[in-house]
Amino acid sequence: MTRVELPQDLVSPDLSGAGSIFANRSFVSLWTAQVLSQLASNMVLAGLMAIVVGTTGSNTANAVLILTFLFPAVAFSAIAGVIVERADAKLIMFGSNVLRAVGTVAFIFVGANVLLIYVINLLIATVTAFFAPAELTSIPRIVDRRHLMAANSVFVLTVNATFAIGFGFLGPLMLTTVGPVAIYVVVAVMFGLAALAILAIPGVPAGVKTAPGAAVAGRALTALLEELREGFAFVRRTPRIAWSLTYLGIASSLIGVMGALGPGFATQILRLRAEDFFFIMGPAGLGAVTGILFLNGYGRSIPRRLLIDSGLVAMGITLIAIAAVKPVSVLVSPAVRPLQSNLPELLSPFVSLIAVVVVIAVSAGVEYAFVAIPSQTALQEELPGDVRGRIFGILNTLLSVASFLPVLLAPAAADIVNIIFPGVAGIPVVMALLGGLTLWAGIASWKRNRRSGLHTDKPQAPASEPRERASASDAE
């Protein structure tokens, strides 16, 4: 689960110029490294999640593992930015992939020791925190300006596709068929190949000549704290930005919670092994890619707030459906069982509990795209140009920090329900609660935006205009 801050000039996925950028050999090499490294990261995350849940039986332990992936990207973002500015980004990407390959091999020797898994994973995620900004810095150096939009669109689409394939399918499938050691070996080889692909791109010279000493790093941390305060102040006085950030936070948190609860859902509800949680996350990732492609082709003609509100309402219904799938299946199983027995062998799986979950998970992925992509677009278009780069990076940091709490609390709440009420599955209870809250928030947002005229093509006032000229929604 690699955390990536989207490029500042990316408005929406636009693949119209993809053919031109794939004629650029340097970009192909960089993209190959991205595909390999992100597939590897997501595959090993899927394997580690299954091992942690299988060893501990705890949803909370799985949530802590996810946080070890996410935390370094926020904690070390300032230092990583300083170093990337003062070093060759090519060397940083090459060294990061080599170190990640070595760290992955270390998993072979720790087995199911959860504490050591946390430590090694935290170190690998810290290295990844330096790879991501170096990669983003390299794109404008090797791609012509007129092709930047297509390059960034391919970048974003690859992030979602590799998550769906690596985290949702390849990782759990390999864990099931060949075991964790084979996953570690394959992932280490993929990181090694990504490092070799980096060697084919030209050097990315440093933008700042001074060495990144301790004083420079200290000033970067001080500047980060100052910019965080500035980001909070900007959000408080710009309600439209606050709303877009809220939508993004809800969507990101819900996807994180689904990932944290996925292995437990597979074992407790579907009665599968923990590694079979790809029945949930794989279809969800596929749905997200499908949603992005739909928005790329048809989303420009639909008002953004209408897309967001539709996605929120549908996501709330979907979470409730996931929570209700087990009790409903118990109620209807006497009627369905004769149907399954009379169907041909190839068709009977399509009316099973797992098939229902797969369909719901695909819907959840599409709904996530409907909320996240328009919200991201609104942020980028509504931020004033003179502060867009600075504020956008801070908003991404705030968003990541805000997402930590639900990812940790939801699995912990499920474990507490399991302890206090034996025989009651905590995961459906938590999902039903989250679904109800999301549905309520979606309905409230729908009413508010429709009343403000934001479900039509009515233009919105730029965020830089005076307060009295903003839309009616801002006055609320």
What confidence tens digit (pLDDT) does each residue in 181-209 have?
Answer: 889 999 999 999 999 999 888 765 555 45
153 with 271, same domain: the answer is no
CA–CA distance, 379 with 476 (Å, rounded to integer): 19
Residues 6+ apart with CB under 8 A from 51: 112, 117, 180, 274
Cβ(94)–Cβ(29) under 8 Å?
A: no
CATH number at residue 347: 1.20.1250.20
164 and 56 share one domain = yes
Higher pLDDT, 116 or 350: 116
Domain span at residue 363 reads 237-476
Residues 201, 310 within the same domain = no
Of the residues 186, 205, 224, which one is the last residue of a structural domain? 205
Sequence-ordered list of residues with C-beta below 8 angstroms from that of 249, at least 6 positions apart, any chain: 399, 402, 403
**129 falls within a domain:** yes
The predicted-structure confidence for 12-48, as pLDDT tens digits, reads as follows 444 454 556 777 788 888 889 989 998 998 888 878 8
Write down which residue in 187, 205, 223 finishes a domain: 205
Assess contact for 24 and 186: CB atoms under 8 A: no
Q: Are residues 25 and 114 in the same domain?
A: yes
| Closest to 375 in 3D by CA, of 395, 390, 360 | 395
Taking CA atoms, 467 is separated from 357, 358, 463, 474, 475, in Å, by 46, 46, 9, 8, 8
Residues 98 and 201 grouped into a single domain: yes
For residues 188 and 333, membership in a common domain is answered with: no
Q: Look at the alpha carbons of 437, 441, 442, 443 in this order and tell me if their dihedral is positive or negative.
A: positive
279-292 b/e (C-beta count within 10 Å ≥ 16 → b): bbbbbbbbbbbbbb
Domain assignment present for 431 = yes
What's the gap between Cα 356 and its chain centre? 24
For residue 143, the 8-state DSSP code is S
Asked, for residue 216, whether it belongs to a domain, the answer is no
Q: What is the dihedral of CA 9, 11, 12, 16, to 10 degrees?
A: -60
Same-domain check for residues 26 and 122: yes
Per the domain annotation, does 369 fall within a domain? yes
138 and 34, same domain (yes or no): yes
What pLDDT shows up at residue 223? 62
Q: Quick one: 108 exposed, middle or buried, by C-beta within 10 A (0-12, 13-18, 19+)? A: middle
The answer to whether position 422 is within a domain reads yes
- The per-residue pLDDT for 332 is 60
Residues in contact with 64: Cβ distance below 8 Å, sequence separation at least 6, in sequence order:
118, 408
d(Cα 61, Cα 407) in Å, to the nearest integer?
A: 11
Counted domains in the chain: 2
As a whole-number percent, the residues of the chain with pLDDT over 90 amount to: 13
pTM: 0.68
pLDDT tens digits, 320-331? 988 887 777 666
The rounded distance, in Å, linking the Cα atoms of 186 and 190 is 6
pLDDT at 462 over 50: no
Alpha-carbon distance 464 to 473, whole Å?
Answer: 15
| Domain membership flag for residue 225 | no
* Nearest alpha carbon to residue 1 among 424, 407, 276: 407
Assess if residue 152 is contained within a domain: yes
Q: Do 187 and 83 fall within a single domain?
A: yes
Residue whose C-alpha is closest to residue 34's, from 66, 2, 64:
2
Residue 329, number of CB atoms within 10 A of its CB: 16
**Max Cα–Cα distance, the chain, nearest Å:** 75
- Work out whether the CA dihedral 415, 3, 174, 355 comes out positive or negative: positive
- 266 shares its domain with 318: yes
Among 24-28, 49-53, 387-391, 413-417, whose mean pLDDT is lowest?
387-391
Among 205, 222, 247, the domain-final residue is: 205
Q: Are residues 250 and 380 in the same domain?
A: yes
Same domain, 284 and 136: no
Chain segment 126-177, per-residue pLDDT in tens: 888 888 777 777 777 777 776 666 676 677 677 767 877 787 678 877 877 8
Identify the three-state secondary structure at position 397.
helix
